[in-house]
Structure 1
Amino acid sequence: MFSRAKSTSRTVIAADSKAAPPSIISSDMKVTGDIISEGEVQIDGAVKGDVRCKALTIGVTGSIQGEVQVERARIHGVMNGQLQASSVFLASTARMVGDVIHESLAVEPGAFVDGHCHHVEQKKAEEPLKNLMLADDHSKLGLKPVSDHSQEKKADRSPQYAIKDVLPESAARAS
């Protein structure tokens, strides 16, 4: 009657992989200080300080006075300060006073912008340089050693190369 069940299998409940809901500063709230989040932040109140997060939405009643660094920014309210984001959307109700550093920028008619907009290229993973040549690979350019330094110390065996051997004949004659 009170014995254990023979089955010992357990059901594992997987953690919800959905993103967390946004952190919200409501319209009746005023924050003085920096806000740092790894997720989304929605500001409907007033913030006096810097904001760093993944995604930021400033509602129609929201305002920020400070520097903002985010991946995505949607501005419907007031922003005073520098905004640095990959993607920026300024709604018709937006009032942006300060510089905008962006990769993509969308501005609805009616939005107010007082500042400079600086477009920056998308940051790509460092690509290997196609024309990079190793120091010992002078043979590809047709460079020939001027001297082999056979009488110098073994530590100083870097040969010197003549540039004239690389230039086309017409350029070599001109010099």
Structure 2
Amino acid sequence: MFSKSRKPETNPRQSAEKAPAKPKVPSIISAYLHISGNLKTDGDIQIDGIVDGDVESNLLTIGDSATVNGCVEGEIIRVAGTVNGEITGRIVELTKSARITGDINHHSLAIEAGAFVQGLCRRIDPKQIDARPVLEGPKPNLVVADTDGKRDENAKSDNKSDKAKTAAG
């Protein structure tokens, strides 16, 4: 009746898994930083400097003083600076100071009065954001190069000099 009962054992792994996730701290590219190359992360990025390359992240914030020369991809993209390239995101927000030269692929788009956009805006299904468009069209007529010096006598040639050599030889 008054006996000690055993406490259930706690596993430190289980308590760590149940703990709420800490808020993510964004990677910050300051106004005095110039990066040449692509950036890719599952986290968040805040850009205030210059990036010459493509940028891919979950939440991407492009500040007033920022310039991105390349394609931009993310779940949520907020632009107050300049982007010279294509933007693809589920939610795209452009402030009045934004300058975009390139197409915008989005599910939701918000543009403040005064923002500059030169390009097409396409609303897409969120499922299509990860899918890349496949270019379709007529397949080119390819010619196989003769690299070993031997020529197939049955191969067709449109070159008149080749036909003359074959007839003379």
Of residues 72, 80, 83, the one that matches 1:79 is 83
1:16 to partner: Cα distance? 6.3
Deviations 1:85-136 (A, max 9, x none): 0000000000011000000000000000000001112329xxxxxxxxxxxx
Distance in 1 (CA, whole Å) between partners of 2:76 and 2:112 is 16
User: Given residue 97 of structure 2, which amino acid in structure 1 is its aligned partner?
Assistant: T
Structure 1 length-normalised TM: 0.62
User: Given residue 23 of structure 1, which amino acid in structure 2 is its aligned partner?
Assistant: S
Count of aligned residue pairs for this structure pair = 116
Of residues 62, 65, 69, the one that matches 1:58 is 62
Larger radius of gyration: 1
- Which residue pairs with 2:104 in the alignment? 100
1:139-158 map, 5 Å: none
1:68 to partner: Cα distance? 1.1
Identity over aligned residues, as a percent? 41
Gaps of 5+ in 1: 1-8, 125-175
Distance in 2 (CA, whole Å) between partners of 1:28 and 1:64 is 14
1:69 to partner: Cα distance? 1.3
- Which residue pairs with 1:115 in the alignment? 119
Structure 2 length-normalised TM: 0.64
1:20 to partner: Cα distance? 2.0
Deviations 1:25-77 (A, max 9, x none): 00000000000111100000000000111110000001100011111100000
User: Given residue 115 of structure 2, which amino acid in structure 1 is its aligned partner?
Assistant: A
RMSD: 2.0
1:1-175 map, 5 Å: 14=16, 17-123=21-127
1:17 to partner: Cα distance? 1.3
